[in-house]
């Protein structure tokens, strides 16, 4: 039976075994999917051992996404742009890598939640790895404006310049600090910082969230995070956490490995925590 796994540190919280086992049952795929905790200094050795034991592919979670991209012999454009990979596929001596985080985010926003990105104003909070993974898929949706806001202005500007250098439209992609947001509201605001994990709030001004727009927190399973509480207080009608993104990126990896894309609705509903 084909073997797959998720590798991270720590890994006990991961929902990936549950998700991929459900996908396999729903699509009739014969596979076993497990969780592997790698030592902080042992990612490559852990992957090598899994490959030697016949493993076909892995998902990669924190803190190894950068190492996963560097480990690969054939990283996809998305992985190169992000500088990180969350999925590896093994083909003999070759190791293919891709980053499905941003694809999962876009699919959740557009297909599951029904919010258009094309022609809209989008705000990304944070300039770390989560934002790097989201930028290219969001830009491919042709937003009217995409602003990257970060506490460190230099980091936001450097990230924007990097993507403009890769061909992103300079008139669409902009970056700066939270104080640079101006007075206009954004149609889609995505919290790509880790602030919600510590029940903290990024310093986004409430006026940046449009009441008829979408406030999306990539963190999932935490209920109404401080960011979503701010949006609720602002009167934003549509709130979402990252559970849909989690399941959608998993479905993309599953399809990449197995050639069949599972339905995601049942699994998303199973994992969803009420936003209260």
Distance in angstroms (rounded) separating the CA atoms of residues 109 and 214: 9
- Residue 182 pLDDT > 90: no
Tell me the pLDDT tens digit for each residue of 87-120.
999 999 999 999 999 999 999 999 999 999 999 9
Domain parsing of the chain, residue ranges: 2-99, 102-243
Judge whether 2-99 and 102-243 match in fold.
yes
For residue 197, name the pLDDT band (cuts at 50, 70, 90).
confident
Mean of the per-residue pLDDT values of the chain: 96
For residue 241, name the pLDDT band (cuts at 50, 70, 90).
very high
pLDDT at position 123, please?
98
Point out the residues that are catalytic: 65
Q: What is the mean pLDDT of residues 236-263?
A: 98
Give the DSSP per-residue string, 9-50. SS-TT--HHHHHHHHHHHHT--EEEEEEE--TT-HHHHHHHH
Instruction: Write down the residue that tokens 């990304």 correspond to.
Output: 124
Does pTM top 0.85 for this prediction? yes
Q: Which CATH class is domain 102-243?
A: alpha beta
Pairing of strands 87-91, 55-60: antiparallel
Tell me the pLDDT tens digit for each residue of 32-53.
999 999 999 999 999 999 999 9
Distance in angstroms (rounded) separating the CA atoms of residues 50 and 53: 5
Q: List, in order, residues 6 or more apart from 137 with CB less than 8 Å away.
A: 78, 102, 103, 105, 106
For residue 6, name the pLDDT band (cuts at 50, 70, 90).
very high
Distance in angstroms (rounded) separating the CA atoms of residues 2 and 32: 6
Query: Residue 127: what are its φ and ψ, rounded to 5°?
Result: -135, 30
- Residue 4 pLDDT > 90: yes
Q: Which fold has domain 2-99?
A: Rossmann fold (3.40.50)
């Amino acid at each position: 039976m084909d073997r797959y796994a998720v590798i991270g540190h720590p890994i006990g919280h991961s929902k990936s075994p549950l998700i991929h086992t459900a996908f396999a049952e729903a699509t009739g795929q014969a596979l076993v999917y497990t969780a592997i905790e790698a030592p902080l200094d042992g990612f490559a050795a852990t992957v090598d051992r899994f490959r030697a034991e016949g493993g076909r592919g892995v998902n990669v979670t924190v803190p190894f996404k950068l190492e996963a991209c560097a480990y690969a012999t054939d990283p996809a454009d998305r992985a190169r742009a992000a500088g990180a990979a969350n999925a590896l596929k093994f083909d003999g001596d070759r190791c293919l890598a891709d980053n499905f985080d941003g694809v999962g985010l876009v699919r959740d926003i557009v297909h599951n939640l029904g919010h258009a990105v094309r022609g809209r104003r989008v705000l990304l909070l944070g300039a770390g790895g989560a934002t790097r993974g989201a930028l290219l898929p969001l830009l491919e949706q042709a937003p009217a404006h995409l602003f990257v806001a970060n506490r460190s202005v230099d980091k936001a500007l450097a990230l924007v310049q990097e993507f403009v250098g890769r061909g992103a439209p300079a008139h669409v992609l902009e970056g700066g600090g939270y104080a640079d947001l101006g007075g206009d509201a954004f149609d889609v605001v995505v919290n790509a910082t880790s602030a919600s994990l510590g029940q903290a709030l990024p310093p986004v001004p409430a006026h940046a969230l449009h009441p008829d727009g979408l406030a999306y927190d990539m963190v999932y399973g935490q209920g109404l995070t401080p960011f979503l509480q701010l949006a609720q207080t602002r009167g934003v009608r549509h709130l979402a956490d990252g559970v849909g993104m989690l399941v959608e990126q998993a479905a993309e990896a599953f399809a990449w490995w197995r050639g069949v894309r599972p339905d995601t609705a049942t699994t998303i509903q199973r994992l969803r925590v009420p936003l209260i």
